[in-house]
Amino acid sequence: MKRKKDKFKSPNKKIFQIGYIDFEKFVKKQNIEKKSIKDYYNENIASFRNEEKRLIDILYFSNTDNESDKRIQEIKSNPILFDEEIVSRGLKTDDVTLGYVNKSSSMENDNLMKIFREENIGVYGPYETDLGLAIYRVREIIAENQTTFSDAKNDIRNLLASEKAKNETFRILEDLNNEVAAGQTLEDLASRFSISLELLEIENNELPDRFKSDPNAKALFDNASDQINEFIVLTDNSLIAAKLDKEIKSRSLGLTEVSGDIEKVLRKENILIAAKSYFDKKLNINNESFLNQLFEMNSREDIFIEIKNKKVFRFNLDTQMTQELMARIFSLEEKEYLFFYDGDKLFLAFIETITPDDIDNELKSTLTAQRKEFFKRSLRQNFINNYLNFIKQNADINVNERLIESTLLNLQRTS
């Protein structure tokens, strides 16, 4: 009981006053001349050529038998069956797609090169792979094209404005921190530097979403005192300073304050005990199928809102189930069941059948490695394109690990 008592505590609350200069708003205020935008487009015309890319899915057939050959031909004759085959394997399209593949990245794969020679969307193959025969589906073809100045000008304007705003931000940052060192408060600085002031309440040190993934913001709030120390640059180039106005420490709640929560906990536990007792008496695991028994129970009295069969795959996490629940499900044996809550709804999961892994660990490792290698090549090509745009060059460069590391370090220093 003491262990549960510790759960009933008020949150630790901190109220901060923050001063904030939004970088995106600052970018929009920048004045960029039309001539500068046009000059940038003309000087970097090659970077606005878009190579052909195709949206490609892939299905493997590890068994090279007549049944697999027949199924492949059926799918090729009727491409709609491609989706049916995905579903029959308990997969989703996202599990079998290669995504949008650039023509240049296909040069390292003979099968993809063949796919890019096809003129139309459709299903092609089968082709030999390390995982057996494979068929490829081309869902979309985006031909090579040139981004026009009209289409590119807004992006160019934003790029130039962002660079200009970034330089201006660092100048303002220096001025602001000189003022802070001289004893100026947030209220003193707000009107002079167009700073937005706001009160921010944080419970149990849980930062709001806009700051959650920013380590600079976390360090700022963790070290905040009753006076502002300095303005810092966030990862999105916005400027922020904070001071701690008030802290309300966590405390144990009295019985009157938590009686409603305790009632909900006890009600859930009682429902769980009653449900387990009911099914222990009613359910005959050695009799007919579990599903039929549920339908029979429901015909006598309304117990379930919905009854359905559902396949769950160990290596394809279901978005409707938490990892903890998946672990509990896969710890059960056939004919065992468990109850679990999702919000206020009580669910019953019964393990009717268990199908062993359909591929061995070695094949699974090969499949994973192949998927990782493809995404690595795609990331490499994307890095080349972005790097060329960043340094405003039109040249072939050799990307290696040292180049990637040094470039990222330089970007961190200048961002």
Lowest mean pLDDT among 91-100, 194-203, 292-301, 382-391: 382-391
pLDDT band at 105 (very low <50, low <70, confident <90, very high): confident
What is the model's pLDDT at position 249? 87
pLDDT band at 218 (very low <50, low <70, confident <90, very high): very high
Per residue, the 3-state secondary structure of 94-163, as one string, reads: HHHEEEEEECHHHHHCHHHHHHHHCCCCEEEEEEEECCEEEEEEEEEEECCEECCHHHHHHHHHHHHHHH
* Torsion sign over Cα 179, 182, 187, 191: negative
Q: Give the number of other CB atoms < 10 A from CB of residue 211.
A: 19
pLDDT over 90, % of the chain:
40
- Token readout for 141 is 């073809």
What is the model's pLDDT at position 415? 45
* Torsion sign over Cα 216, 219, 223, 224: positive
DSSP 8-state symbol, 246: E
Find which of 310-324, 331-345, 387-401 is predicted with most confidence, using mean pLDDT.
331-345
Position 308 pLDDT exceeds 70 = no
User: What is the average per-residue pLDDT within 177-194?
Assistant: 90
What is the model's pLDDT at position 9? 81
Rounded Cα–Cα distance for residues 174 and 230 (Å): 10
What is the model's pLDDT at position 412? 47
127-176 pLDDT tens trace: 988 878 899 999 999 999 999 999 999 999 999 999 999 999 999 999 99
- Tokens 């220096």 belong to 174
The amino acid occupying position 297 is M
The amino acid occupying position 171 is R
Q: Where are the alpha helices (DSSP H) in 136-289?
A: 149-181, 186-193, 209-212, 215-222, 255-282
